[in-house]
Amino acid sequence: MLREEMKEIISLQSKMDADDPLDINFWNGAYPAYRWHEIMMDISDQHQGHKNGGRVAILHLAIYDATTAVWEHKTKNAQLAPFHWNREIRKFGREPDHSTFICEWSVAAGAAKEIISYYFPEKEIYLDSLVEEFKRTRVLTGLQFLSDIEIGVEIGKTIAKEYIDYAKTDRTDIQSQGTELNKPRYWTGNPGKWDPMKAQWRPLTLQRADQFRPGLPPDFSRDMAELRQFNATHTTSDIAWKWKSEPVWDNLIERKILEYDLDPLEAAFANAMHHAARFDATIAAWDGKYHYMGIRPFQFDPTFKPILVETPNFPGYPAGHTTVAGSIATVLSYLFPQDKEFFSHLALECSESRFEGGVHFRTDNEVGLEVGRKVGEKVIEAFSGK
């Protein structure tokens, strides 16, 4: 059977055109989940207002579990890449330093196709075509037998279906009635049908949404005075715009995976932890937000004009950005301990950015960092099996 597969690889490589090496690099560079994460985000951008539902966390958790399952097979079945078997087969890309038995890149493709299709069923045919395109380029690399590619795709799909069953019960599809909230000295507004229900989502690692709920917020008079003083001498803030407009943490996890040259299993583990930390930190922050209905600066003082003109349309305490920052910085420090100081600095910068932007009081941010740190420690505990 493998002899026939080698003939097929040789035949396909003999028909390669000028675009094929570019396609090979596109689908087989970085690490297995890299392109599929991009595809998920691109499709999400095309469907603004779609049910959020922690879909990115589900994507990476499914890829991690599927990769783990395949890794167990690899450790028991040593297998060289096809180009080692036949000199007519050319090698494109980096040779793995582990067994090629069952393709871990295909596992990610199969899992991603099922997860993304679940959240965006109208894209299923398109995603099927991407999987076929990927499979062709994987064969062309000379690094994998077609049978191992096909098995990998099916394993990825099987694991993904388990996570889809989980996603159907995670409560991320619950809508609020979108009623107006109006209490003196509290946040007021109509946050829409999705936002208030984030505190009702089913956590991945927390025991319950209010597990790390902070104490009562202050009256914010001192915080308001500090913001007025800052705005008196500042008309803009570079870090405020940076943390509003850039996906800082997502860019960072990608960079660190590549910087430290993690293998596919390590990369899947890092992404799973990272996105689980974001998901559960969001739940913890939103539990506090809608429990306390913390007022925003522009509501506390209607004469105050924040540097970031558009204040998010939901309560402020604790700050969501900084709760997520505290959680992710804690997890990244566990994954990449050499860079702990850098991650701590980034979390503090994120916190300061929301103050300078005028959309949060300093207390919102500092409390958010502490809640996030506790969430991050819980994520580490869950993933490390302690």
**Could you tell me the CA-to-CA distances from 336 to 158, 316, 340 in Å, in that order?**
31, 31, 7
Q: Return phi, psi of residue 205, to 5°.
A: -125, -20
pLDDT at 154: 98
Helix (H) or strand (E) holding 37: helix 34-46
Amino acid residing at 54 = G
The predicted structure's pLDDT at residue 175: 81
What does the alpha-carbon distance between residue 1 and residue 338 come to, in Å, rounded to a whole number? 47
Whether a cis peptide bond, with omega within 30° of 0, leads into 318 is yes
Spans of all domains in the chain? 2-167, 195-384
191 has a pLDDT exceeding 90: no
Comparison of pLDDT for 268 and 50, the residue scoring more: 268
Question: What fold, for 2-167?
Answer: Vanadium-containing Chloroperoxidase; domain 2 (1.10.606)
pLDDT at 184 over 70: no
- pLDDT digit string, tens, across residues 342-357: 999 999 999 999 999 9
183 pLDDT exceeds 70?
A: no
Nearest to 308 by CA among 229, 250, 239: 239
* Domain pair 2-167 / 195-384, same fold: yes
Token reading at 113: 């196709």
Determine the Cα–Cα distance for residues 138 and 27; give it in Å rounded to an integer: 8
Which amino acid is present at 31?
Answer: Y
Count the neighbouring beta carbons within 10 Å of the beta carbon of residue 173: 14
Q: Is the pLDDT of residue 51 over 80?
A: no
pLDDT attached to residue 178: 60
337 pLDDT above the threshold of 80: yes
Cβ(199)–Cβ(283) below 8 Å:
yes
pLDDT for residue 79: 94
Q: Give the integer Cα–Cα distance in Å for 338 and 342.
A: 9
∠ CA 370-371-376, nearest 5°, is 95
If you average pLDDT over residues 281-294, what whole number do you get? 96
Across the chain, mean pLDDT equals 94
CATH assignment of 195-384, among 3.40.630.30, 1.10.606.20, 1.10.1370.30, 3.30.420.140: 1.10.606.20
- Read off the pLDDT band of 385 (50, 70, 90): confident
Residue 386 confidence (pLDDT)? 59
pLDDT-derived band at 180, boundaries 50, 70, 90: low
Predicted local distance difference test score (pLDDT) of residue 316: 97
Q: What is the pLDDT of residue 292?
A: 94
For residue range 78-130, list pLDDT tens digits in order: 999 999 999 999 999 998 889 999 999 999 999 999 999 999 999 999 999 99
Picking from 359, 187, 207, the residue whose alpha carbon sits closest to that of residue 283 is 207
Confidence of residue 176 (pLDDT cuts 50, 70, 90): confident
